[in-house]
Structure formats: C-alpha cells, structure tokens
Structure 1
C-alpha cells in the first residue's frame, strides 16, 4: 500500500480511536472506572432491581464491545506501522480499498472473514 493511502487510513483510524475513547469515557461518567460507574448506576436506579441489573449489563456489554474495538484499532495502526496493513492476515491477499474504507479495522479479505464466521463445516 502506498504511503498517501496508508496515511488516509491512519487518519481515519485515529479519528475512530478518538471517538471510541470518548464513548468509553462518557459511559464511565468521565474519569470513573467500571466499578464506580456500576455502583453509581445501581444507587441511582429508581426502577426495580431487575431493570437496574439489565441497565448495568447493557452498559458492561457496550463497554466490552468498545474496548474490543479499541484493541482492533490499535492492531490496525500497528499493521500500518509495520507495513502489513491492507493484507489479509490469513491468506496474504490485498484487502480491497473499498472494504478498508468501509471497515478500516478489517484484517481479513472477504473470503477469509466469511470462512471464519461460518466456522468449521460439520458432517
């Protein structure tokens, strides 16, 4: 991948990282950690316990998803740094730029990603 194109993806990934970090901070109530946020949500819940538990579980699930996304963004930035960005980690084929623009953290070509999602074929 040429340098200008890789710089374009790096800018896109850095913006995505900043947005994700902002979302995590907002979910945590600023600088609060996960435990403090959960305690606050539990203390402020005016609904019944089941509703409070559901809200807490949803917040944890969102945080886990965004934390995983941050890890994927950092991995993509590392691939840019080492020159392997845009190559499928499984088969080594070039990932189309359109796919990378749509999903800049993509690490597999469509065929390998589909095979991964489909899992092993059972007889």
Structure 2
C-alpha cells in the first residue's frame, strides 16, 4: 500500500482512537471506573444485590469490549509503523480497501477472519 493511502487510514485510526478514549472518559465521568459508577448508581437501599451485580457485570463487559477495541486500533497503528498495514496477519494477502474503510483496525482478510471466528484459539 502506498504511503498516501496508508496515511489516510492512519489518520482514520488516530481519530477513531481519540474518539474512543473521549467516549470512555465521558462515560466514566472522569477518573471513576465503570464499576464504581455502576455501584454508585445502584447503591440505594431499594436496589437488590442482583441489580447491583447485573449493572456491575454490564460495566465490566463494556470496559472489556472498549479495551479490546482500543488494543485493535493500537495494533493497526503498529502495523502502519512496521509497514505491514493492509496485509492479512494470517495469510499475508492484501486486505481490500473496502474492508479497511469499514474497519480500519482489521488485521485479517475476510476469509481468515471467518476462519478465526469459527475456530477461536
């Protein structure tokens, strides 16, 4: 992939990363973790332990998803730096621009991604 093309995806990844970090900070209300926010929200006496635990579990799941998304973006930016961005990490095939436009953090071509989803390690 040529440098101008790669740089366009790099800018998209950097914007996506900044937006995600801003979203995480806003949802947490600053420095509090999601679990702390959920516990505070559901800490009223009328709330059952089940409600508090459910809210806390949801917050942990959201945090895990955002952490994985942030890691995928950081890995894509590392591939840009390494000069391997746009190549499938499994088979070395070129990932189509349409796929990268839709998911600039994509590490695999569609075929390898489907295999990975069917047979997770």
TM over 0.5: yes
Range moving further from structure 2, 83-92 or 56-65 = 56-65
Q: Which residue of 1 aligns with 2:2?
A: 2
Task: State the TM-score, normalizing by the size of structure 1.
Answer: 0.87
**Is residue 2:52 matched to residue 1:27?**
no
Q: Indicate conservation of the 8 Å contact 2:35/2:59, yes or no.
A: no
Aligned residues: 120
Which 4+ stretches in 1 moved above 6 angstroms? none
Q: Indicate conservation of the 8 Å contact 2:38/2:55, yes or no.
A: no
Q: Indicate conservation of the 8 Å contact 1:45/1:52, yes or no.
A: no
RMSD: 1.9
Q: Which residue of 2 aligns with 1:96?
A: 96
Structure 2 unmatched ranges of 5 or more: none
Task: Tell me how far apart the structure 2 counterparts of residues 10 and 76 of structure 1 sit (CA, whole Å).
Answer: 8
**Is residue 2:63 matched to residue 1:56?**
no
Task: State the TM-score, normalizing by the size of structure 2.
Answer: 0.88
Q: Which residue of 1 aligns with 2:82?
A: 82
